[in-house]
Amino acid sequence: MSAAASPPLRIDRLRGQLEGLGLSHAATALEETLGEAVRANRAGHELLQSLIDLECSRRDARRVSTGLKLSNLPPDMTLGSFDFGFQPGVDRGQVETLATCAFVRERSNVLLQGPPGVGKTHLAVALGVKAVEQGFGVAFYRLEDLLHEMRKHADIPPARLRRKKH
């Protein structure tokens, strides 16, 4: 069977089905990805894999973006932007170990201590960003804000407080 005799592709139908399945990113990229696959003579499973990879990466990016917004973490404080050279007393290996978030999985605490200006807040925020990226929920409060929230809810019984959503 020649290429001219093969049935036409139903891109609109396929795009609609992708959208119906909730795969909106794949649906948006379908035509461009299909064009690239035809030009590169890629197999069908490679086309499908690239659409699924795109969908997964966009969903993950949206999940992280939403988690960061809900966390109230200050922006632009990541491990990549922390100047370890300026703070030689900070053990980079230990910070990278903390960035795996194993302490969160183990339900352990981490205490960052030191004089003002050594980067404790920056590291705490950066670890919070890593936790969000790994799927954990994070809530960032400055001490005065946390105390205010605690005073506001001081007369609510603990059982009711746990059910309260913010």
DSSP string, 51-69: HHHHHHHHHHHHHHHHHHH
N- to C-terminal Cα separation, the chain: 62
Q: What share of the chain is helix, strand, coil (3-state, %, to 5)?
A: 60, 0, 40
- In this prediction, residue 62 carries a pLDDT of 94
- In this prediction, residue 1 carries a pLDDT of 46
* pTM score above 0.75: no
**Is the pLDDT at 166 greater than 60, yes or no?**
no
Q: Give mean pLDDT, residues 126-154.
A: 92
Confidence of residue 9 (pLDDT cuts 50, 70, 90): low
Structure tokens at 140: 């960032």
Average per-residue pLDDT for the chain: 87
Structure tokens at 45: 């499973």
Q: What percent of the chain has pLDDT over 90?
A: 50
Sequence-distant (≥ 6) Cβ neighbours of residue 58 within 8 angstroms: 25
